[in-house]
């Protein structure tokens, strides 16, 4: 009995709002930095191809496969650590690791060196989403959680936008040349920029340690930080198979336009519209900075509004509408549009595309118990990075290289991939609505229907038997 009372205690509320929002702000900056480091390489595809002699397909492997596969491989074991360890420390270590790896990209001299450095970026960044989502779920009550998730996931577009905007400005400042650096020699401009953005993470990592680690909560009850054993996680996925498969497949497809566009939209503008790297980075970057966070925040506010009205499937309904909107924006790219139409299509994609970012992981928090939030998020993020992050940009490259045989057709390839994936996402999510409602209602009702409490160590199991 004494052990039970020391490990599980009733709490009156979640942490104070100012504490929760401070943590959300720091985590959002971390999310932004992760996507700045991840995405800035895509602005420099043209000079990287020239200096290292790479094809479009090799570039797609660097930005997709090298990052995504290793992000997924290391994501689950790190998430199990997140489910039972100090999440703020894990996040700080991840920031430090991916920042060093980004700087290593800047000194790479060939495809395989750059491939290895991108793999290391993927490993480091496998901590950011599971730790952030797990922390926010314990910092904010369900009725305010989607807004916090929307703020956190707006960091994706803040970081991606800064990658294009700041990267473009630095490119203009440095020029396309060899830049001599003290002690280490001369490097191409794009290499110097990668070294600089990698160094920025060394400043953020210590700030993450100032976040107060919150208690792990399940329905207003503090629980011991013990992650679920893998067999229990597997049983949960089997008993909620239709929900979990529909969630993963639907949102993976809905992420296709995001990942394909992040890699190829700026390059499309350079190749087909004659924009400079600086011009493409400025226009695309500003739109991402303004419209991306607006879309992510709008999705969170809409989801909270629907949740307060008892719609357990509200996040999926909103995402179905967003998928149809991104299909429309992608369709414009297939028509060989003018500069004005390209800007309009990018704006449409920059606003509606980010709807998926807070709602997909937020939906997971509605259907999985606290003890496996980190693992469930890591499984989802791993699937996104492997399937969407790898297949989406490579699909565009393969269509351009082997179907159209013309680099100027990259916009058409991008539009085809976007329309096809978005329409398929809307269809899959529509057929997931009913099983999702059942899973959400089960979590809100009898916890023992979800988890076999006998598989949990005491006193953690008591929460699920109560």
Residue 185, Cβ density class (10 Å: 0-12 exposed, 13-18 middle, ≥19 buried):
exposed
What is the predicted pLDDT for the residue at 416? 95
C-alpha span between 435 and 419 (Å, rounded)? 26
The pLDDT tens digits of the residues spanning 78-116 come to 877 887 778 889 989 999 998 999 889 888 888 899 999
Output the pLDDT for position 448: 38
Give the ranges where 209-255 is alpha helix by DSSP (H): 230-239, 241-254
Q: Which helix (H) or strand (E) holds 292?
A: helix 277-308
Residue 146, pLDDT score: 78
pLDDT tens across 28-45, in order? 999 998 888 887 888 888
First to last CA, the chain: 15
Token representation of residue 360: 């997909």
Q: Would you state the pLDDT for residue 432? A: 95
Given CA atoms 348, 350, 355, 361 in this order, what sign does their dihedral have?
A: positive
CA gap 147, 204 in Å, rounded: 23
Q: Are 49 and 59 spatial neighbours (Cβ–Cβ below 8 Å)?
A: yes
Query: What average pLDDT values come out for the chain (466 residues) when binned by 10 residues?
Result: 36 74 91 86 86 85 78 78 84 90 88 91 85 85 80 83 83 86 83 88 86 72 61 87 93 92 84 82 82 87 86 91 94 83 88 88 83 79 80 90 89 94 96 92 54 41 38
Give the residues across from 185 on adjacent strands.
181
pLDDT at 396: 92
Residue 54's CB is within 10 A of a number of other CB atoms, namely: 18
b (16+ CB within 10 A) / e for 99-136: bbbbbbbbbbeebeebbebbbbbbbbbbbbbbbbbbbb
pTM exceeds 0.85 for this model: no
Q: How confident is the model at residue 446, as a pLDDT?
A: 39
- Would you say 144 and 304 are in contact if contact means Cβ atoms under 8 Å apart? yes
Domains of the chain (ranges, CATH numbers):
2-452 (1.20.1250.20)
Say how far apart CA 89 and CA 198 lie, in whole Å: 19
The number of residues in the chain equals 466
Predicted local confidence at residue 6, as pLDDT: 33
- Going by C-beta distance under 8 Å and a sequence separation of 6 or more, which residues neighbour residue 433? 313, 316, 317
């Amino acid at each position: 009995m004494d052990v039970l009372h020391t490990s599980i205690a009733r709490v009156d509320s979640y942490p104070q709002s100012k504490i929760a929002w401070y943590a959300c702000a720091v985590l959002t900056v971390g999310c932004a930095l992760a996507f700045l480091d991840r995405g800035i390489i895509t602005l420099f595809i043209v000079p990287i191809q020239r200096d290292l002699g790479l094809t479009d397909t090799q570039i797609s492997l660097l930005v997709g496969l090298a990052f995504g596969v290793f992000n997924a491989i290391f994501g689950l074991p790190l998430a199990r650590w997140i489910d039972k360890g100090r999440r703020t420390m894990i996040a700080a270590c991840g920031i430090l690791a991916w920042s060093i790896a980004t700087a290593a990209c800047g000194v790479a001299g060939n495809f395989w060196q750059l491939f290895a450095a991108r793999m290391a970026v993927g490993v480091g960044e496998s901590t950011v989403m599971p730790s952030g989502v797990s922390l926010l779920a314990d910092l904010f009550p369900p009725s305010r959680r989607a807004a916090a998730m929307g703020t956190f996931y707006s960091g994706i577009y803040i970081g991606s936008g800064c990658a294009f905007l700041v990267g473009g400005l630095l490119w203009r400042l440095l020029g396309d040349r060899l830049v001599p650096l003290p002690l280490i020699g001369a490097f191409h401009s794009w290499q110097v920029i990668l070294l600089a953005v990698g160094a920025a993470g060394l400043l953020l990592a210590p700030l993450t340690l100032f976040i107060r680690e919150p208690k792990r909560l399940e329905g207003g009850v503090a629980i011991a930080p013990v992650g679920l054993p893998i067999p229990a996680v597997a049983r949960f996925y089997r008993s909620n198979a239709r929900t979990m498969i529909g969630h993963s497949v639907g949102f993976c497809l809905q992420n296709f336009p995001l990942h394909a566009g992040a890699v190829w939209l700026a390059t499309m503008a350079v190749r087909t519209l004659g924009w400079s790297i600086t011009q493409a980075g400025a226009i695309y970057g500003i739109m991402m900075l303004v419209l991306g966070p607006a879309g992510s925040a709008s999705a969170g506010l809409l989801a909270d509004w629907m949740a307060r009205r008892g719609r357990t499937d509200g996040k999926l309904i909103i995402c179905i509408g967003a998928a149809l909107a991104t299909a429309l924006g992608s369709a414009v790219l297939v028509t060989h549009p003018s500069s004005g139409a390209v800007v309009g299509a990018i704006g449409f994609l920059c606003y509606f595309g980010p709807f998926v970012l807070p709602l997909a992981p937020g939906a997971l928090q509605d259907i999985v118990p606290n003890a496996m939030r980190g693992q469930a998020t890591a499984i989802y993020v791993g699937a996104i990075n492997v399937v969407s992050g790898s297949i989406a940009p490579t699909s565009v490259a393969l269509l351009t290289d082997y179907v159209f045989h013309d680099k100027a057709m990259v916009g058409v390839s991008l539009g085809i991939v976007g329309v096809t994936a978005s329409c398929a996402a809307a269809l899959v999510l529509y057929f997931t609505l009913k099983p999702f409602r059942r899973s959400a209602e089960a979590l809100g009702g009898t916890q023992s229907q979800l988890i076999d409490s006998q598989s949990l160590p005491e006193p953690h199991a008591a929460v699920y038997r109560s």
